[in-house]
Chains A and B, each alone.
Chain A
Amino acid sequence: MSGPGAVETTLRERRDSGGRVLVPYVTGGLGGDWTATVQAAAAAGADAIEIGIPFSDPVMDGPTIQEANDRALSTGATPSGILDRLRGLDVGVPLVVMTYYNIAFRAGLKRFAAALAGSGVSGCILPDLPLEEVGPWADAADATGVETILLAAPTTPDERLPLICERSRGFVYGVGLLGVTGVRDELASSACTIADRLKAVTDRPVLVGVGVGTPEQAVEVSDHADGVVVGSAIVQRMLDGAGPEGVGALVSEFREALDYAF
């Protein structure tokens, strides 16, 4: 692949201007108005948006995103249906799909990578596909220009971090705590630690997610990271029926807090 893709370029611009990156997560297929929610999140100041493609067995996800997955699947959400809705949805910021490896594996790696690219998706996160297994998928994704974002965890040894950063595209996703996705009362100290460790070995944008659930926590960890991924807090709003407007308002709170602090 020649040069950084849309995700990395956009995130670097935000970082290089002195600000912090905000990437909210929206569950694809959750409710009839989920694409309007994506648009509202973009309008409220998201730098990029993660689109979750529901999977039947999401082992990295806590109760909130599990419930969102179940609801979306029970109302007929499919990977191709979600990608169809994304095609032509011009929200002005890069879209990143987050799902589990079997969804890509079942479709066929080249076919899935092409489907993402064809739907205007710029990046992809597969949390159950670690460095040693990522090769075939990452090659297929690279060939279509889709940026494969890898995760680094609090348990990742020092010598492994540069290898992850090297193979990652778009940004490096620092897992903020030992555990699955979900809002916690306080930011774990491991969130700042993983950000510091990653920043010490890479120039790629470093975002922290998992356990970042409030604007205060986003600001706290962004003192160490280039920005945050916010999943369960957003999805909980969707589950509560807040609609595009309510989700947009929450994204605005995160945006304003980050812009005020940095």
Chain B
Amino acid sequence: MTLANPGPGGRFGEFGGRFVPETLVPACVELEEAFTQAWVDPVFQTELGTLLSEYAGRPSPVTECPTLSEELGLRLLLKREDLNHTGSHKINNVLGQGLLARRMGRKRLLAETGAGQHGVATATAAALLGMDCCVYMGEVDVRRQELNVFRMRLLGAEVRTATSGSRTLKDAINEAMRDWVATVESSYYCLGSVMGPHPYPLMVRTFQEVIGTEARQQCQDLLGGVPDVVCASVGGGSNAIGIFSGFADSDSELVGVEPAGGAAVGRGVPGVVHGSTSYLMQDEFGQVLEAESISAGLDYPGVGPEHSYLAATGRARYESVTDTEVVEAFQLLSRTEGIIPALEPAHALAWVSRERNALSGRSVLLNLSGRGDKDVGQMMEILA
């Protein structure tokens, strides 16, 4: 572990904390205790380790990209989280939280989802562990990710449509939190990213650190050291934190890539929503702005508090790319390497592609957080 743990109350510097209604405070305290105990329990570690290897398919490989590397004039390595069961890094987190929920005696998993990747992963964990599952998804996302909606239902989950506000991820989180306030004694809120009230940012990071731990060793084997640059897309920021964690104590440059229409670090100022203090896109009065991105998974006006901390301290930097650049990157990787990426990691690739001159001759490790099958329908319309 190379990222520092938060201070008292879940603070990463001035960010983080536990800003939730009183009704939920005891549940957060209980969760913090349960997670802390489970994480040092060899029984839990064995259960989780077995599921990660035998069910999720870990470790995920690191893939060299000879054709694209030559085209871009740099050495590109992909951490293949797209090859996990359910098609993204989200499975790492939900297997951990699902096991934890079972230890805590909860029978119902509650989740929000944007693109549907976290929703599908949660529905999968619920099916595996014999639990009920309810996933909130914004009306706009239900429409643009109908394949994932069907997958969740096939897995036995109930998908509830959030029709308030911008009808995307932000509003799905609002609805999930309202459900949690009402069902806190029986439901477990399986949050999908490194956000929300303490201990979620720390806990989700811990479950995603497996990405960085593996990648550090894999880079050692392939490069004989660490890559010059480690980059990942950032919505809430769980895949980025996961891979950053393996290199935070090294000389690697850490770069998070946000969508231009949802650049909380790039365009936001500190604010408090969904349980923690972090950079937030908001107006002069504190009303949260609606994000706008081609990627449902990154369509969020906030960001996990630890990313705000890494940005404020300068350990990581955050860039943004446009939807047009993302569409090009999506096609570029498909054509050159035979890998169709999800629109989320296509953001990181879009940044690499745009900055190819600055990155010339350098080694770049990119977290390919998910596969693009879910986005093919949307891309068919865009490219038609």
- Where the two chains meet, the residues of A that have a C-beta atom closer than 8 Å to any C-beta of B are 55-60, 62, 66, 70, 73, 78-80, 101-107, 127-133, 150-157, 160, 164, 175, 178-180
Asked whether B285 lies within 8 Å of A59 as measured between CB atoms, the reply is no
Residues of B within 8 A of A152 (CB): 22
B286 nearest CB neighbor, chain A only: A106
Asked whether A56 lies within 8 Å of B21 as measured between CB atoms, the reply is no
Q: Hey, what's the 0/1 contact readout for B174-212 against A, CB within 8 Å counting as 1?
A: 100110011111000000000000000000000000000
Q: How far is the CA of A164 from the CA of B123 in the complex (A)?
A: 38
Q: Is there a chain A Cβ closer than 8 Å to B88's Cβ?
A: no
Which of B18, B21, B24, B271 lies in contact with A105, CB distance below 8 A?
B271
* A-B contact list, 11 entries, CB within 8 Å: A55-B286, A59-B21, A60-B181, A78-B285, A102-B280, A105-B270, A106-B285, A128-B19, A128-B272, A178-B184, A179-B182
Residues of A within 8 A of B27 (CB): 155
Asked whether B21 lies within 8 Å of A66 as measured between CB atoms, the reply is no
Which of B22, B165, B170, B185 lies in contact with A130, CB distance below 8 A?
B22
Which of A57, A127, A133 lies in contact with B273, CB distance below 8 A?
A57
Asked whether B21 lies within 8 Å of A102 as measured between CB atoms, the reply is no
Q: Is there a chain A Cβ closer than 8 Å to B45's Cβ?
A: no
Q: Is there a chain A Cβ closer than 8 Å to B9's Cβ?
A: yes
Residues of A within 8 A of B54 (CB): none
Residues of B within 8 A of A157 (CB): 26
B23 nearest CB neighbor, chain A only: A153
Q: Is there a chain A Cβ closer than 8 Å to B65's Cβ?
A: no
Asked whether B181 lies within 8 Å of A179 as measured between CB atoms, the reply is yes
Q: Is there a chain A Cβ closer than 8 Å to B372's Cβ?
A: no
Residues of A within 8 A of B311 (CB): none
Min CB–CB distance A134 → chain B (angstroms): 10
Which of A57, A70, A128, A132 lies in contact with B21, CB distance below 8 A?
A128
Asked whether A127 lies within 8 Å of B286 as measured between CB atoms, the reply is no
Q: Is there a chain A Cβ closer than 8 Å to B20's Cβ?
A: yes
Asked whether B282 lies within 8 Å of A106 as measured between CB atoms, the reply is yes
Which of A101, A154, A164 lies in contact with B272, CB distance below 8 A?
A101
Q: A56-B165, A57-B170 are in contact. Are A130 and B272 (CB under 8 A)?
A: no
Residues of A within 8 A of B19 (CB): 101, 128-130, 133
Asked whether A79 lies within 8 Å of B164 as measured between CB atoms, the reply is no
Chain B interface, number of residues (Cβ within 8 angstroms): 38
Q: How far is the CA of A55 from the CA of B272 in the complex (A)?
A: 12
Residues of A within 8 A of B177 (CB): 59
Residues of B within 8 A of A70 (CB): 164-165
Min CB–CB distance B195 → chain A (angstroms): 13
Taking each of A105, A128, A153, which has the highest tally of chain B beta carbons within 10 Å of its own beta carbon? Answer: A128
Q: How far is the CA of A66 from the CA of B282 in the complex (A)?
A: 18
Q: Is there a chain A Cβ closer than 8 Å to B25's Cβ?
A: yes
Min CB–CB distance A75 → chain B (angstroms): 14
Asked whether B26 lies within 8 Å of A155 as measured between CB atoms, the reply is yes
Residues of A within 8 A of B274 (CB): 57, 59
Residues of B within 8 A of A59 (CB): 21, 174, 177-178, 181, 274
Asked whether A106 lies within 8 Å of B284 as measured between CB atoms, the reply is yes
Q: Is there a chain A Cβ closer than 8 Å to B334's Cβ?
A: no
Residues of A within 8 A of B280 (CB): 102
Q: Hey, what's the 0/1 contact readout for B276-297 against A, CB within 8 Å counting as 1?
A: 0100101011111000000000
Min CB–CB distance A85 → chain B (angstroms): 15
Which of A102, A133, A179 lies in contact with B282, CB distance below 8 A?
A102
Residues of A within 8 A of B345 (CB): none
Residues of A within 8 A of B18 (CB): 130, 132-133
Min CB–CB distance A86 → chain B (angstroms): 16
Which of B21, B170, B178, B286 lies in contact with A103, CB distance below 8 A?
B286
Asked whether B20 lies within 8 Å of A56 as measured between CB atoms, the reply is no
Residues of A within 8 A of B164 (CB): 66, 70
- Which B residues between 44 and 64 are near A, CB-CB below 8 angstroms? none
Q: How far is the CA of A57 from the CA of B170 in the complex (A)?
A: 8
Asked whether B272 lies within 8 Å of A105 as measured between CB atoms, the reply is yes
Residues of B within 8 A of A105 (CB): 270-272, 277, 286
Known: A102-B282, A102-B286, A157-B26. 5 other contacts (CB 8 A): A57-B274, A60-B178, A152-B22, A156-B25, A175-B21
Asked whether B285 lies within 8 Å of A62 as measured between CB atoms, the reply is no
Min CB–CB distance A183 → chain B (angstroms): 15
Asked whether B288 lies within 8 Å of A130 as measured between CB atoms, the reply is no
Q: A57-B165, A102-B282 are in contact. Are A178 and B23 (CB under 8 A)?
A: yes
Residues of A within 8 A of B9 (CB): 132-133
Which of A107, A129, A155 lies in contact with B185, CB distance below 8 A?
A155
Asked whether B182 lies within 8 Å of A178 as measured between CB atoms, the reply is yes
Min CB–CB distance B170 → chain A (angstroms): 7
Q: Is there a chain A Cβ closer than 8 Å to B262's Cβ?
A: no
B182 nearest CB neighbor, chain A only: A179
Asked whether A180 lies within 8 Å of B178 as measured between CB atoms, the reply is yes
Residues of A within 8 A of B273 (CB): 57, 102
Q: How far is the CA of A58 from the CA of B273 in the complex (A)?
A: 9
Asked whether B272 lies within 8 Å of A151 as measured between CB atoms, the reply is no
Q: Is there a chain A Cβ closer than 8 Å to B17's Cβ?
A: yes
Q: Which 7 A-B pairs have the closest CB atoms?
A: A106-B286, A179-B182, A153-B23, A56-B287, A153-B22, A102-B286, A59-B177
Min CB–CB distance B238 → chain A (angstroms): 21
Q: A57-B165, A128-B272, A156-B26 are in contact. Are A178 and B17 (CB under 8 A)?
A: no
